[in-house]
Structure 1
Amino acid sequence: MSKRTKKNKSPDTGKKMYTGRLEVSRGGMGFVIVEGLEKDILIRPDRMSTALNGDEVRIEVRGHRDNNKRQEGEIIAILHRKQSEFSGHIEVHPHFAFMIPDSEKMPVDIYIPLHLLNGAKDGDHAMVRIVEWTGKTKNPVGEVVSVLTDESMNEIAMQGLLVENGFPLSFPDDVLEEAARYPEGIDKAELKQRRDMRGTLTMTIDPVDAKDFDDALSFKALKGGWYEVGVHIADVSHYVLPDSLLDKEAYRRATSVYLPDRVSPMLPERLSNELCSLRPNEDKYTFSAIFTINKQGKVKDTWIGKTVIHSDRRFAYEDVQEMIEGADGDHKKELMLLNGMAQALRAERFSKGAINFSSQEVRFKLDETGKPIGIVVKESKEAHQLIEEFMLLANRTIAEYVGNIRNKDKPVPFPYRVHDVPDEDKLKMFTVFAAHFGIRFDLTTPENIARSFNKMLASVQGKPEQHVLEQLGIRTMAKAVYTTENIGHYGLGFEHYCHFTSPIRRYPDVLVHRILQQCLTTSIHPIKNLEAQCRHCSDQERRAMETERAANKYKQVEYIQEYVGDEFEAVISGVATFGFWAETVAHKCEGLVPVNDLNDIDHFEFLENEYALVGRSTGLRFAMGDKVKVRVVAANLVKRQIDYALAETPQSARKGGAIKRGRPAKNEKSRTSKKRK
């Protein structure tokens, strides 16, 4: 991808200046990530001004550190705040008030003049927006945006996570008003501009609790063993027009965020759950890729354009999976044909270099207050793969179509979804580890690396080392991002790829729809600053993933705290100098076993290349993928941390029987490591 850096010279000093994103470590040291620079730029705490973690900043380079020649700098301007609203508790004094933030990422309290309390009282939990903060004052000035009337820990935690990562809790009134203006139903004049697919059998397949239906499949038998399969995507761009209030708000969010008990949508409910959602028995505007395809997944012809559909049936994944496994149901014949095509597409994809990493998803069973009462680990089954393969086919087809078009002898600027080859250093370390299990990698070409991964994944299916090799293999991979520079998608094995199929919840898909329509009408007007928009969408996607992970961790901690003192089978999921992380087999709850708690067994050394702690005297190993039995010692909701203790020494270290470790007395305080993953 592009290695251009954001750099210019200061007119006053002649020193180098850069623009980048600030990341603040737990120790308070800052690092500015600049696109195109191999090393981040160090920012010491006294040179950060009022910048916070995640802010886009301008810095001036002031020298180098001696040890690794990392550049040092000073923040001279804050270009964009990642977060301007914070949650916390209000303290009211006679002449002023303060908000004490919940998040450690906000290092100072927020000063609130009494006239900006907006009804908040001493002790209230509230959302506060920063209205002024200059380098001349230590504390920012803020105003109360809302008081959280529901004081449940869950509500405070979930809202706090969204705000902490820069996702608003509500839509502005003018955005809601703009969304409300659009009428229901289909306009006759608009219908004439579209292909009418309402007479073709059309179905949606989604999670059982889904409300925003992005995509639908249509099916019709043709002559000679061919079939017409349509991939129909909600036409969000019909409603969200460029530079409208809806568009600006959707771009700002760039993605929906899915938490265990709620969705923070990219679009207001009027659009996401009503007008754009492909609900059954309703006529809807869609953007479609319609394929002429046979049972073997061979595509003979493709039509791309705007359509109107009528969904005849809504299926949950579980409904379709039951039919795949033998049950009867509506439209089973058509669904089985679609599943056969999907499996053929899947097999062809892997034969051409796609990497077959399996995926698991943790879902929570919640009571009416949002408290987890159960955890279900879901794996991708054929019903999920049915939808996945047709969505991949549509995304690849759209990217190929636009990628082959030229505008004034130049490629059309387009937001590709790209995935680079694995990191060379990480890959070398991984192959050394994999060799312990008799697995050899061919690193001569990217294609051979992919084949080696697939060969490994097939060979370890069902074996004890499967989980650890899959997890470590995934960590060698680059992160998929949006960019106008098409380098292909390595993990999928595609030369061209984009996101076209989920415009209700992803802004890049909206951009793809707009550009695609221009290409179809040959009236191409390149979108300005498209690469910057791609970077923003990639950043927002990363923040959404961080929010979702933190919310899932909160729910896991909330669930496991009911089992303090109980023992569980677990698998070691990570290793460090200060201990190892273990993940329970039954519900994927991860916690730390501190190395200090192992001192009565042996003194342990961390072997980085082997992802293991090894005892100096006993030779006992705690390595990634090993099975262990752990006892729950503590569960801290505020820090979202679980502490385990080793309940039983593994078989490899036993001498004359198992060595049981006694439970602590009820009044014994748990030991919690200060270092975390």
Structure 2
Amino acid sequence: MKKERKIRKKHYNNLSTGFIKITSHGYAFVYVDEFEKDVFIPKNKTNRALKGDFVKIRFYHNRKGMKMEGEVLKVIKRKTKQFIGILKLDVQSVQSNKYGIVHNNIIHVDILVPIQKLEKCHHNNKVLVQIISWPKKFKNPLGKIVKIFGPSGEYKTEIFSLLEEYGISYKFSEEMENEAKKIFYKEILDVNFRKDMRDVNTFTIDPLNAQDFDDALSIRKLNSDTWEIGVHISDVSHYIKEGSLLDQEAYSRATSIYFVGEVIPMLPKILSNDLCSLQPKKDKLSFSYIFNIDSRGRILKNWFGKTIIRSDKKFSYDEVQCIIDQKKGDYCEDIYRLFLFSKILIQNRLKNGALFLEKVEIKFRLDDKNNPIDLLLEKNNDAHRLIEEFMLLTNRKISEFVSLNFEGIPSNKFYIYRVHDVPDFQKIFFLKKIIEPLGYFLDLKNLKNSINYLLKQIRGKPEQNMIENLILRAMSKAKYSTNNIGHYGLSFIYYTHFTSPIRRYSDIIAHRLLYHYLTINDEIKNKNEKNKLNTIEFYEKQSQYCSYKERLVIDVEREFLKYIQVKYIKKFIGKEFYGIITGFTDWSIYIDLLLFQTEGMVRLRDIKEDSYILNSNNYSIIGKKKRKIYHLGDKVKVKLLDVNIEKKQITLDWINDIL
């Protein structure tokens, strides 16, 4: 007891600062560096702090002397004063008809807005609200509406509120649009110093509704056993000069964003969909990789440089797939020859140790009001793989050209690489433990071949999607860097991103660097072109930024896709479906609905057949009475119970297990 009192006395007046984490229930935690642990803050002692705020706290041991507790003394700095939420103006929500309530999923309290300041707002509008004060006598902060996005749950509302939440620009300023128009109307096709490829059969292959055509392929037969193939990439860096206003804006955005039914481009549409796009029947400037190849797929000769091309036809993937399948159609001989070469390239990659992971892509058809009316699970076909292989080859060959001299010895040139580190061993071990009860095995000593064999085994099985997702999670995240560590998944020593400069700023960097190395000794070209390099530290900083923005945009695209999925599934409430168990918590089971390839949740307490608890291994549950065990990957039957579009949550009811 004496020791306990000493401890309590010693720490009673200790002060610290930190970022507060507040739960939906109102209690909180603040990490204290001195003790390398979280301090618990009771619900009544958060002192108007909000999630993520930087706060000053007093901490002490509780009465038992075992747990650190504390109280917030002061909010030093708010993480943000602006939040996106849904305005409630119904009778139950309005307090004494004086305030509207903005409810959001970020912070634990609603924000009150005076009724007299809500003239243009409507019930269930999604809004951006700013906290203006939090009087001591109020349980809730007071705020003002900064922006109205529209009715909650509607297509445009969800897009623009999501972009606002992530701090992403979705409109170009008038100044940017004017600069883009100047570039467009001043365009004079300068064919000097460019290889003229306009007389060679050339075409683009893209999704049906694509507008921004980054790449085109050309092919011509040179003799009985040799073909010349050209991979032509839009010469965006010719138009977007480094340091210009448009260049700064493109760098800030770093990538285009592809939502279901909508694109937020990196460049103004007059450039991305017109001037830079490799449209058919128009002369276009490109940056090309041209090579000779024999019938066995051996590359005999390489050339890199600026070109002018004229695409003969715009193909969709489906059109090209029909030509491959039926062996007839426009440019059939050229397309089929490219298809045969792509098969050789795939075989060579796999022999070299590349992973062969092909995820099913979820596609939606929207009606004229942008509501999802049909779902398609699209797999890569031969047409997709044809384009993919030639883009992979181009990215590899260009990075090899920069990185190696003619003898194959590493050069002293730096470049922007697309790198992919080895997998996380703990995650791989976790994957191994999960798949073993399902009858699969992973050889950790021969990991790549073992993963490829596993991918073949699960093809077409109910648990395929779950295991593929686990494999992806075990992999490191690919990123951009000037420090080349190779690409683990592709088994390439040198790899870059060069083939999509309309939609990726990293590719514009790759174009500029390649052009510098190609023309470094060319005095004539250097008179007209700015040809000085920045430092490697400059390009590393740009690489890190492009990696950061890429991850951010992936999160945004996934969140919007989840919204579309949830909105589509709502019409099936009350129907029964099969699913695969993909995860457990102490209180719930997550189930991947096979028909929709999206995840829903069943509460453990709602399962009537038994009372289930989570096993200590965290990837199985066991019934207290019948001792029935459910593992990750087990197939079950569920009913769609409810859908929350705002929270993007799907609630399921447990029906029974499958035999």
Q: TM-score range by the shorter chain?
A: 0.7 to 0.9
- 1:207-246 maps to which residues of 2 (within 5 A)? 207-246=207-246
* Amino acid of the structure 2 residue aligned with 1:622: Y
- 1:555 aligned partner: 564
Query: What secondary structure is seen at the aligned counterpart in 2 of 1:613?
Result: strand
| 1:124 Cα offset (Å) | 9.3
Q: Deviations over 1:230-288 (max 9, x none)?
A: 11111111222222121111111111111112111111111111111111111111111
2:587 match? 578
Distance of aligned partners of 1:248 and 1:576 in 2 relative to their CA distance in 1, 3 Å threshold: same
2:482 alignment counterpart: 484
User: 1:219 & 1:480 partners in 2: Cα distance?
Assistant: 32
**Which deviations, in whole Å up to 9, do the C-alpha atoms of 1:582-602 show, x marking residues without a partner?**
22222223211111122x322
The amino acid of 2:310's aligned partner reads H
The amino acid of 1:626's aligned partner reads: D
Contact 1:90-1:121 at 8 Å conserved across structures: no
Whether 1:649 and 2:648 are equivalent positions in the alignment is: no
For residues 138-184 of structure 1, what are the alpha-carbon distances to aligned partners after superposition, in whole Å with 9 as ceiling and x for unaligned?
Answer: 97998846x54677722212221122122223111111111111135
Change in Cα spacing, 1:518 to 1:622, as seen in structure 2 (3 Å) is same
Q: Is the 8 A contact 1:396 1:498 kept in 2?
A: yes
After superposition, residues 68-467 of structure 1 pair within 5 angstroms as 86=84, 89=87, 103-105=104-106, 125=125, 128=128, 144=146, 147-148=148-149, 153-183=154-184, 187-188=188-189, 190-326=190-326, 328-404=328-404, 411-444=412-445, 448-467=446-465
**Which stretch shows the higher mean deviation, 44-53 or 614-623?**
44-53
Instruction: Tell me how far apart the structure 2 counterparts of residues 132 and 241 of structure 1 sit (CA, whole Å).
Output: 43
SS of structure 1 residue aligned to 2:488: coil
Give the CA deviation at 1:650.
Answer: 2.4
Q: Secondary structure at the match of 1:205?
A: strand
**2: distance between equivalents of 1:131 and 1:235?**
47
Q: Give 1:379 shift.
A: 0.6
Aligned partner of 1:13 in structure 2 is: none
Partner of 2:611: 603
Matching residue of 1:499: 497
Which residue is equivalent to 1:626? Answer: 634
Q: Quick one: distance in 1 between partners of 2:405 and 2:180?
A: 34
1:515–1:365 Cα change, 3 Å:
same
**Residues 348 and 202 of structure 1: is their aligned pair in 2 closer, same or farther, counting only changes over 3 Å?**
same
1:403 and 1:27, CA in 2 relative to 1: closer, same or farther beyond 3 A?
farther
Letter in 1 for 2:571: E
Residue 584 of structure 1 aligns to which amino acid in structure 2?
Answer: L
Query: In 1, Cα distance between the equivalents of 2:415 and 2:39?
Result: 35
Match of 1:673 in 2: none
Residues in 2 aligned to 1:100 and 1:591: alpha-carbon distance in whole angstroms? 29
Per-residue deviation at 1:617? 3.7
CA distance in structure 2 between the aligned counterparts of 1:49 and 1:552, rounded to whole angstroms: 35
Match for residue 670 of structure 1?
none
1:536 partner letter? Y
Structure 2: which amino acid aligns with 1:183?
Answer: F
Q: For the structure 1 residues 506 and 49, does the alpha-carbon distance in structure 2 shift closer, same or farther, using more than 3 Å as the test?
A: farther
Name the CA shift for 1:441/1:585 in 2 (closer, same or farther; >3 Å).
closer
Q: CA deviation at 1:331?
A: 0.7
Which among 593, 597, 601 is matched to residue 588 of structure 1? 597
Of stretches 580-589 and 476-485 in structure 1, the one that deviates more from structure 2 is 580-589
**1:280/1:311 contact within 8 Å kept:** yes
Say whether the 8 Å CA contact 2:24–2:107 is kept in structure 1. no
2:13 corresponds to: none
**SS, match of residue 572 in structure 1:** strand
The aligned residue for residue 71 of structure 1 is none
Q: What one-letter code is carried by the residue in structure 2 that aligns with 1:434?
A: I
Q: Distance in 2 between matches of 1:535 and 1:288?
A: 26
Deviations 1:2-22 (Å, cap 9, x if unpaired)?
xxxxxxxxxxxxxxx99xx99
Separation in structure 1 between the aligned mates of residue 620 and residue 110 of structure 2, nearest angstrom = 42
Query: Residue type matched to 1:163 in 2?
Result: E
1:99 positional shift = 9.6
Show CA shifts across 1:606-641 (max 9, x none).
346573223344343332322222111001111111
Q: Within 1, Cα distance between the matches of 2:118 and 2:194?
A: 50
Alignment match, 2:575: 566
- Distance (whole Å) between structure 1 residues aligned to residue 47 and residue 266 of structure 2: 32
How many Å apart are 1:573 and its aligned residue? Answer: 2.8
Q: CA deviation at 1:570?
A: 2.2
CA deviation digits over 1:423-446, x for unaligned, max 9?
1111122223333455443334xx
State the alpha-carbon separation in 1 of the partners of residues 271 and 374 from structure 2.
32
What letter matches 1:302 in structure 2? Answer: N
Q: What displacement does 1:505 show?
A: 1.1
Which amino acid letter does the alignment assign opposite residue 171 of structure 1?
F
| Higher mean C-alpha deviation, range 453-462 or range 498-507 | 453-462
Matches of 1:155 and 1:41, distance apart in 2: 43
Report if aligned partners of 2:127, 2:150 keep a CA contact under 8 Å in 1.
no
Mean alpha-carbon deviation: is it higher for 429-438 or for 349-358? 429-438
With over 3 angstroms needed to count, the CA separation of the structure-2 counterparts of 1:373 and 1:102, relative to structure 1, is farther
Aligned to 1:615: 623
Q: State the TM-score, normalizing by the size of structure 2.
A: 0.80
What is residue 5 of structure 1 aligned with on the other side? Answer: none
The answer (yes or no) to whether the contact 2:463–2:633 under 8 Å persists in 1 is yes
- The 1:89/1:412 distance shift into structure 2, 3 A limit, reads farther
Q: Higher mean Cα deviation, 97-106 or 519-528? A: 97-106
Q: What amino acid maps onto 2:275 in structure 1?
A: L
Q: How many Å apart are 1:475 and its aligned residue? A: 1.9
Q: Contact 1:508–1:537 (CA<8 Å) still a contact in 2?
A: yes
Letter in 2 for 1:460: I
Distance 1:51 1:596, change over 3 A: closer
Alpha-carbon distance in structure 2 between the residues aligned to 1:86 and 1:242? 36
Deviates more, 1:204-213 or 1:241-250: 241-250
**In 1: Cα distance, 2:543 partner to 2:77 partner:** 23
Which entry has the higher C-alpha Rg, 1 or 2? Answer: 2
Change (3 A) 1:43 1:164: farther
Q: Flag the 1:84–1:151 CA change in 2: closer, same or farther, 3 A.
A: closer
SS at match of 2:378: strand
- Taking only the aligned residue pairs, the percentage that are identical comes to 35
Contact 2:579 2:591 in 1 (8 A): yes
Q: CA deviation at 1:187?
A: 2.2
**8 Å contact from structure 2 (residues 220, 227) kept in 1:** yes
Name the CA distance, whole Å, in 2 between partners of 1:23 and 1:268.
40
Secondary structure of the residue that 2:183 maps to in structure 1? coil
Amino acid at match of 1:611: Y
Deviation at 1:648, TM superposition (A): 2.8
1:505-554 CA distances to partner (integer Å, 9 max, x unpaired)?
Answer: 11111111111111111255135532222222222111211111111111
Paired residues of 1:90 and 1:126 also in contact (CA < 8 A): no
**TM-align CA RMSD:** 4.4
Residue aligning to 2:519: 521
Unaligned regions of 5+ residues in structure 1, if any?
1-16, 33-39, 69-73, 652-677
Q: Give the structure 1 partner of residue 7 of structure 2.
A: none
Shift of 1:500: 0.8
Q: Which one-letter code corresponds to 2:565 in the other structure? A: Q
Alpha-carbon distance change, 122 to 355 in structure 1, aligned in 2, over 3 angstroms: closer
Checking the alignment, whether the CA contact within 8 Å between 1:591 and 1:642 is kept in structure 2 is: yes
The one-character-per-residue Cα deviations of 1:206-253 (angstroms, maximum 9, x if unpaired) are: 111111111111111112411111111111112222221211111111
- Measured in 2, the distance between the counterparts of 1:172 and 1:543 equals 22
Contact between 2:214 and 2:278, CA under 8 Å: does it hold in 1?
Answer: yes
